[in-house]
Amino acid sequence: MQNIQKMLETNKTQKQYYEFEADANCDYGGNAATSLWNKLREYQYKMTDDIQLNELLFEKHKLWLGDLSGKKVLDLGCHKGNELSVHLSKNSSYYLACDLSESALKVLENKLLAENIQNANFAAIDILSEDFKESNFDVIYAKSVFHHFEYFEDFLVKIKSLLKPNGIAITFDPMDFYLPLRITRAIYRPFQFDKSWEFPFNAKSIELINKYFEVEDLAGMMGKTKYALPVYLLSPNYAIAKSKQWVDQDLNKIKFNSKAMKSCMRISFKLVNK
């Protein structure tokens, strides 16, 4: 219980960081180091956009989700809406968008109304709070959420309690195995504004996930594909062409807890509540 309380306190700060005025064009808070880190990531994102890596991943997520009719879905940490928020809300029987930020959820609500989706539900609440009363979800969709919790085992126990037996959770989070990235993060971390809620997956994280859930499928990002990044700087077209076979290998051919999985910069899991 003490660990849960500590994470609840951290999430109050996290809420302030991610909160924004819905009608204002403002950036997240932070400091110069965080801004520099984000600019470095933007370079990576530019290449992933050019090779349509995100589109391929989210199509895979749709396959994992399957038929959502009659399903109760929690879109966890969805903020202003992720790539599948419309799909989830349009096709499920019950859809709950949950985020710490009230203003972000208002933006998502307006997006869904523009899609003529009027039966979506919204909760600006911390799921670790006793005030969160929902449970029995068939699906928890959590893009870039799981790694925000320092006491990861306590968080996984909570997620498990929210799912029906054989319910699924779909995750997408950064990894902390690739040595050059680990070194870069270690240099950056003392200056990192959001370090209190940033815990990329390590060996212990993977062990705990396997303890509480069955890993039915997985997809890596920027495993072999990351080697196209320096080439992309000099010759974008050649890098894009070269990376296609690597993208397929990262997304579709890696095994759980393998060397190839640990070489990925990000990982996505389809987890079944066993």
CA atoms of 237 and 234, how far apart (whole Å): 9
| 174 lies in some domain | yes
What percent of the chain is predicted at pLDDT more than 90?
Answer: 74
Q: C-alpha angle 75/122/55, rounded to 5°?
A: 35
| 254 lies in some domain | yes
The per-residue pLDDT for 34 is: 67
| 125 lies in some domain | yes
| CATH code for position 259 | 3.40.50.150
Token readout for 36 is 């520099």
| 147 lies in some domain | yes
User: Cβ-count burial of 163 within 10 angstroms (0-12 exposed, 13-18 middle, 19+ buried)?
Assistant: buried
| 218 lies in some domain | yes
The per-residue pLDDT for 108 is: 97
Q: Is this prediction's pTM over 0.75? A: yes
User: Cβ-count burial of 247 within 10 angstroms (0-12 exposed, 13-18 middle, 19+ buried)?
Assistant: buried
At 70-125, the pLDDT tens digits run 999 999 999 999 999 999 999 999 999 999 999 999 999 999 999 999 889 999 99
| 24 lies in some domain | no
| 221 lies in some domain | yes
Q: Is the pLDDT of residue 216 over 60?
A: yes
The per-residue pLDDT for 242 is: 86
At 56-70, the pLDDT tens digits run 999 999 999 999 999
Segments forming the whole domain that contains residue 136: 2-19+29-273
The per-residue pLDDT for 40 is: 67
| 99 lies in some domain | yes
Count how many domains the chain has.
1
Question: Is the CB of residue 256 less than 8 Å from the CB of residue 250?
Answer: no
Q: In sequence order, what E strands does 25-145 have?
A: 72-76, 94-99, 121-124, 137-143
The per-residue pLDDT for 22 is: 42
32 or 47, which is more confident: 47
Q: Look-up: residue for tokens 């989700």?
A: 65
